[in-house]
Homo-oligomer: A and B are copies of this chain.
Amino acid sequence: MIPDLNAIEEAARRIDPFAHKTPVLTSVNLDELTGGQLFFKCENFQKAGAFKFRGATNTIRSLPGDALKKGVATHSSGNHAQALSLAAQMMGVEAHIVMPENSPKVKVAAVKHYGGNITFCKPTLQAREDTLKDVIDKTGATEIHPYNNHTIIAGQATAARELIHDVPGLDIIVAPVGGGGLLSGTALSTYYLSAKTKVFAAEPEQADDAYQSFYQGKFIPSVNPNTIADGLRTSLGSLTYPIITKYVDQIVRVSEEGIIKAMKLIWERMKIIIEPSAAVPLAAILENTFECRKKRIGIILSGGNLDLDKLPWIQ
């Protein structure tokens, strides 16, 4: 069932003792530059460095005790793997993480750091799914999908819920969209708690499955998405697509150049580290994909995990 307000409030109570209530930052400088009034919800400061910790914690802590004994499992090389590992570790639960054998070293190290039990596989979706199935058959662990899961969505919804509580009267909230977990949660919280606020999604042009699906009115998956915003390469899921269709107002697309420019601008002017995916909403504003002048705009800075040895503006 699509999370109702009660499910989101329950998620908020459930994760409250464990997740950071992240700050909302503003920047006179970026307001001057864009003409809008921007409020940045800093999920880059969330535990494990991204909003994913909210959904993972909400989901693990909703499982019955006998399921917990057998652990949780997922296939992911990204922020969900780190978040699930840490959320599980904090409960003394085992997290089985299936990762492609070509995953970047920093990501493998991060999952290990948070106590995740890694099984490597060939770098294909088929191999990831088969290996995950093997792990689950062997351990009895519960699969926790990174976004196609209503408890995950309710957890991610708590970020926008906090933003709306901290900053009333927003005209627009912009979230990036990949698999759609964050966007679905953002749209639901906004619908329940700030119905006059519009919800916009920002997506890389080079991974625009959500845009295509939204405007063509049918589910169209990404084919070989190639964007620096590595958190946004996934396609919408069967649970996130209908929520987005119903509760999101607009999906806009941005260039790769625009993502890098917005990312560097946030680093420079706000002195905070965000990953490329988190720069996509500001890129959408800088590329004038919608009118932002004199509007109060909430922006979800989704995460801050990246390899500091490889920055897109340094060759």
**Cα-based distance from A44 to B267 in the complex (angstroms):** 12
**Cα-based distance from A183 to B167 in the complex (angstroms):** 37
| A271 at the B interface (CB under 8 A) | yes
Contact A264 B49 (CB under 8 A): no
Choose one: B49, B268, B271, B308; the contact of A272 (CB below 8 Å): B271
Most interface-central of A267, A268, A274, A311 (chain B CB within 10 A): A268
- Closest Cβ of chain B: how far from A82's Cβ, in Å? 13
* CB interface residues, A 286-312, toward B, < 8 Å: 304, 308-309, 311
**Cα-based distance from A313 to B271 in the complex (angstroms):** 18
* CB interface residues, A 19-66, toward B, < 8 Å: 23, 44-45, 49
**Cα-based distance from A274 to B274 in the complex (angstroms):** 14
**Cα-based distance from A308 to B274 in the complex (angstroms):** 14
Choose one: B44, B45, B271; the contact of A45 (CB below 8 Å): B271
**Cα-based distance from A304 to B271 in the complex (angstroms):** 6
Main secondary structure of the interface of A (DSSP, over half): loop
Choose one: B271, B308, B313; the contact of A309 (CB below 8 Å): B313
Contact B309 A49 (CB under 8 A): no
| A273 at the B interface (CB under 8 A) | yes
Most interface-central of A23, A271, A273, A314 (chain B CB within 10 A): A271
**Cα-based distance from A267 to B271 in the complex (angstroms):** 10
**Cα-based distance from A268 to B110 in the complex (angstroms):** 11
**Cα-based distance from A308 to B312 in the complex (angstroms):** 11
**Cα-based distance from A271 to B44 in the complex (angstroms):** 7
**Cα-based distance from A273 to B263 in the complex (angstroms):** 13
- Closest Cβ of chain B: how far from A101's Cβ, in Å? 24
* CB interface residues, A 230-265, toward B, < 8 Å: 264
Choose one: B44, B49, B267, B304; the contact of A308 (CB below 8 Å): B267
**Cα-based distance from A274 to B271 in the complex (angstroms):** 7
A150-166 near B? 1/0 per residue, CB < 8 Å = 00000000000000000
**Cα-based distance from A313 to B304 in the complex (angstroms):** 18
Chain B residues contacting A49 (CB-CB under 8 Å) are: 271
- Closest Cβ of chain B: how far from A149's Cβ, in Å? 26
**Cα-based distance from A272 to B268 in the complex (angstroms):** 11
Contact A308 B271 (CB under 8 A): no
* CB interface residues, A 135-178, toward B, < 8 Å: none
Contact B314 A309 (CB under 8 A): yes
Contact A271 B273 (CB under 8 A): yes
- Ordered by A's residue number, 14 sampled pairs between the chains whose C-beta atoms are within 8 Å are A44-B271, A49-B271, A264-B308, A267-B273, A268-B308, A271-B272, A271-B274, A271-B304, A272-B272, A273-B273, A308-B311, A309-B313, A311-B314, A314-B314
**Extra inter-chain contacts (4) besides given A272-B273, A308-B311, CB under 8 Å:** A267-B273, A271-B272, A271-B273, A272-B272
Residues of chain A whose beta carbon lies under 8 Å from any beta carbon of chain B = 23, 44-45, 49, 264, 267-268, 271-274, 304, 308-309, 311, 313-314
